[in-house]
Structure 1
Amino acid sequence: MTESVCLGHKGEDKVVAYLRALGYVVLERNWRYRHWEIDVICTDGKVVVVVEVKTRQKAIEYPSELMDYHKRKNLLNAGAAYIRCKKLEKEIRFDLIVVSGPDLEIQHFQEAIQIFD
């Protein structure tokens, strides 16, 4: 396993622990449909939350730069596919969680991606 893959797994593990500590219920990790993948899917009350996790060794100055148009579009499509596949009738939210620096600090951006982005 490469160093970057190992760092990514550590970041996702930390995010899952963080979300559970906040009371979120984690439903899926690394859910795949066709060529799309969602890092973490959880619920926050009655809302399904699709979480994109970005882990970096260095602190990130502009987290918005981590999600280009194509990544946002793919995440929106993957979230819609998840709702369809699971036959859920719930509100959906798209969050970005950045894990960075030597201490793997977490920055959580709720509603980072809007449906009509």
Structure 2
Amino acid sequence: MKTKNQIIGKRGEDEACSFLVGQGHRIVRRNWRWGHLEVDVITLKDRVLHIVEVKTRSGGAMAPPESKVDAAKRRRLVRAANAFLG
């Protein structure tokens, strides 16, 4: 059984993908994993690959989304992107 956070996270990823497709992106992969690294969404638009970290909140104070991705997470995303590109 999925937790409340997993359900909210999946809903957020679904909404993010719908938004990105509406902006002309093609979804390449979702929840791509390599070892302990994960990328929520990988898209392609105009021959540019986009690595997307989705942050979903169900309420409370809103802060800029980028404030929720710290330096360690950014480093993991870069490593994951490099692994994806092979």
After TM superposition, the score normalised by the length of structure 2 is: 0.91
Q: In the TM superposition, what whole-angstrom CA distance separates every residue of 1:83-105 from its partner, at most 9, and x where no partner exists?
A: 11xxxxxxxxxxxxxxxxxxxxx
> Partner residue of 1:23?
24
SS of 1:11's partner is helix
> Partner residue of 1:61?
63
Specify the code of the residue in structure 2 equivalent to 1:64. E
> Partner residue of 1:110?
none
Shift of 1:55: 0.3
Q: How many pairs are equivalent?
A: 84
SS of 1:55's partner is coil
Cα 1:5–1:50 shift into 2, 3 Å: same
After TM superposition, the score normalised by the length of structure 1 is: 0.68
1:1-117 correspondence to structure 2 within 5 Å: 1-58=2-59, 59-84=61-86
Q: Gaps (5+ residues) in structure 2?
A: none
Specify the code of the residue in structure 2 equivalent to 1:4. N
Specify the code of the residue in structure 2 equivalent to 1:41. I
Shift of 1:11: 0.3
**Partners in 1 of 2:62 and 2:77 — Cα distance?**
21
| Structure (1/2) with the larger helix percentage | 2
**Partners in 2 of 1:8 and 1:52 — Cα distance?**
11
Shift of 1:65: 2.2
**Partners in 2 of 1:83 and 1:62 — Cα distance?**
29
Q: Gaps (5+ residues) in structure 1?
A: 85-117
